[in-house]
Every structure is written in C-alpha cells, then in structure tokens.
C-alpha cells in the first residue's frame, strides 16, 4: 500500500457496506467518525424513497458508494436490473447528498471505454461501453453529473481483487489447485488493482478536496493470461501447493462470453498523481502483499 491515509472524521455513510471494496474502505474510516453502514436487505439502492429517507434521517457529511452489480456477464441478461443498481441508484444518492449537503464519492469502471486505444485512458476521453455492465456504470456517472450536486467525486478503477469477495485471483487459485492445465485470455490488457490501494486512493482524494472524475489503478499492465501466470508464481513463492503445470494463452474468440470486454482498458493515473502527490503501487507488488498478508479464506 502507498502508506496509510484515512478518511476525514465526520458523519460518514458507507453504501454497499458488505462488499469487497467496502471492507477495505471500512479499515480507513477513523474510529471517531460517526458511521452508518447501508446495504441489503435493509437498504435497497434502487428504492428512491428509501434512499432519500434513510440518508436524510442520518444526515451524513460524506457518502461513500461502494455498491454495484459487478457480475459483468450476468448484467447482459439482467440489464434492466443492472441499470437500476448501477445507473439509477447513484442518481438517488446524488439527490440525497444534495438534500443534506453531503459530499458523494462513487466508484466506476474502466469498462465505460471501448478499448480501442493503445495508450492509457484519460478521464476526459470519449466513453463507449461495449457491455450492459459498462452502459449501466456510465449511466450512474451521468446521473451524478446531471443531478445538480456540485460536491461529487467519481473514481474509475479496473480489475479489482481483495479479501472478502469473489475475484480473479481467488478463482485462479481455486482452479490452479484442482487442474494441471488452464486456458486464459491473452488479448485483453488492463491493470489489476488491490482494494486496499483503491480505498487509500479514495481517502487521499477526499482528504485533498478533489472533485470530478479521477482514474486509479495499480501501476503497470498485463493481460489476463499474464495476471494468471503471476498469480501462480507468487502463490508458489508463498508456499501454496498448486496442481497447475501449464497456462495456455488464448484469444477472446477462443473463450466467448456473454459480455464483450474492452481489449485495452489501462487507465492513466496522471491526474490522480498530480492531485495527491502519491504514486500507485505496482500491481505485482500489490498481488504479493495480498497473497502474503491480506487474503481472506475463500477457497
């Protein structure tokens, strides 16, 4: 991690409080903050009246939204639900923030881009999502921008892994413990990002008063195949016993999925670095830290 930076003390509403990212965010909320955790089944982000009433009753100064429907392929067959959660829900939070004078921090995704660049995506590059997931997340960004709220921060990130939730690292470790051969896509490139590092980046941006859209991901880039190979190497260096002998690189066409992914989704973090003075840790170092110290027992 970059070096611990906590959120400012105050009245904080953490939405999607039981999710993977929210667990990392929780660790950076000061002990003297007055915090309320909002999540299903008691808090439904798609219910406008419930969102407005719940947040009005609490009266937060800061709303951190970590809630999302992140099943990329599932969103293809449930786009209406994805749009309600990822699109309409953030708009309701912005409306609530406007009503109680709160600041809203929202997490978005690299999948709002079409992947047709060959250099890192900038915050003001044209969007063009290829999937229902990407469209729903872009709808959430636009709902916040169009809400009339001025004090908002959107942090786009990519390829998240961390304790407390399903992710690519845990899937690979499970498969590598069971199989000798794996086939993994090698023509999609991005930046794996550790939830602890993203949570700290959010805290840094909040602390320095940042507004608008920022990108954050761990530094460096790789394909899913490269990520899988690194997982195997780092896991073995940590003493994990794996059955895997060969990880074959394949194309996206060799492994068709319901949702189309961007071929290149590396995010530029230059704006984040200029705003905070902090450099994102390398993704491989973050992976090593996760495997040695941060992993939940998910196998």
CATH number at residue 20: 3.40.50.720
Give residue 294's pLDDT. 64
Q: Is residue 182 part of a domain?
A: no
**Residue 1: its pLDDT value, please?**
42
**Within a domain: 275:** yes
> Could you tell me which residues come within 8 angstroms of residue 171 by beta carbon, excluding any fewer than 6 positions away?
none
- Inside any domain, residue 77: yes
Residues of the domain holding 25? 11-165+193-219+261-281
The neighbour count for residue 294, using CB atoms within 10 Å, is 18
Structural domain contains residue 97? yes
Q: What is the pLDDT of residue 299?
A: 33
Place of tokens 């915050």: 123
pLDDT of the residue at 293: 82
Task: Give catalytic residues, as residue numbers.
Answer: 133
pLDDT for the residue numbered 216: 98
Strand partners, 248: 183
Contacts of 240 (CB under 8 A, 6+ apart): 173, 177, 291
Q: What is the dihedral of CA 295, 21, 206, 34, to 10 degrees?
A: -100
Q: Is residue 100 part of a domain?
A: yes
d(CA 208, CA 224): 34
Does 2 map to a domain?
A: no
Query: Which residues in the chain land under pLDDT 50?
Result: 1-3, 297-299
Burial 96-125 (b: 16+ CB within 10 A, else e): bbbebebbbbbbbbbbbbbbeeeebbebeb
Q: How many domains does the chain have?
A: 1
Angle CA 3–155–286, to nearest 5: 40
pTM, full prediction? 0.94
Q: Is residue 125 part of a domain?
A: yes
Position 165 scores a pLDDT of: 82
Q: Is residue 107 part of a domain?
A: yes
């Amino acid at each position: 991690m970059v070096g611990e930076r906590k959120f400012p003390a105050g009245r904080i509403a953490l939405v999607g409080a039981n999710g993977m990212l929210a667990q990392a965010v929780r660790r950076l909320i000061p002990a003297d903050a007055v915090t309320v955790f909002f999540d299903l089944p008691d808090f439904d982000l798609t219910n406008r009246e419930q969102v407005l009433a719940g947040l009005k009753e609490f009266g937060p100064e800061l709303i951190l939204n970590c809630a999302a429907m992140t099943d990329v392929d599932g969103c293809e067959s449930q786009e209406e639900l994805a749009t309600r959660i990822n699109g309409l829900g953030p708009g309701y939070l912005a409306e609530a923030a406007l009503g109680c004078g709160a600041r809203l921090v929202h997490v978005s995704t690299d999948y709002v881009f079409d992947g047709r660049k060959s250099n890192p995506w900038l915050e003001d590059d044209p969007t063009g999502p290829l999937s229902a997931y990407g469209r729903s997340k872009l709808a959430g960004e636009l709902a916040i921008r169009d809400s009339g709220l001025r004090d908002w921060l959107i942090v786009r990130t990519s390829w998240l892994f961390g304790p407390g939730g399903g992710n690519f690292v845990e899937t690979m470790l499970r498969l590598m413990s069971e199989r000798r051969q794996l086939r993994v896509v090698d023509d999609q490139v991005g930046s794996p990002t550790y939830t602890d590092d993203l949570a700290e980046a959010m805290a840094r941006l909040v602390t320095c008063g940042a507004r608008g859209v920022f990108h954050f991901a761990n530094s460096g880039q790789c394909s899913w195949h490269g990520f899988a190979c690194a997982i195997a190497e780092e896991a073995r260096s940590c003493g994990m016993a794996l059955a895997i002998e060969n990880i074959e690189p394949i194309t996206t066409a060799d492994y068709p999925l319901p949702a189309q992914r961007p071929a290149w989704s590396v995010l530029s973090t230059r704006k984040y670095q200029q705003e905070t003075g902090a450099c994102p840790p390398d993704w491989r170092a973050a992976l090593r830290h996760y495997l040695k110290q941060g992993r939940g027992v998910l196998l």
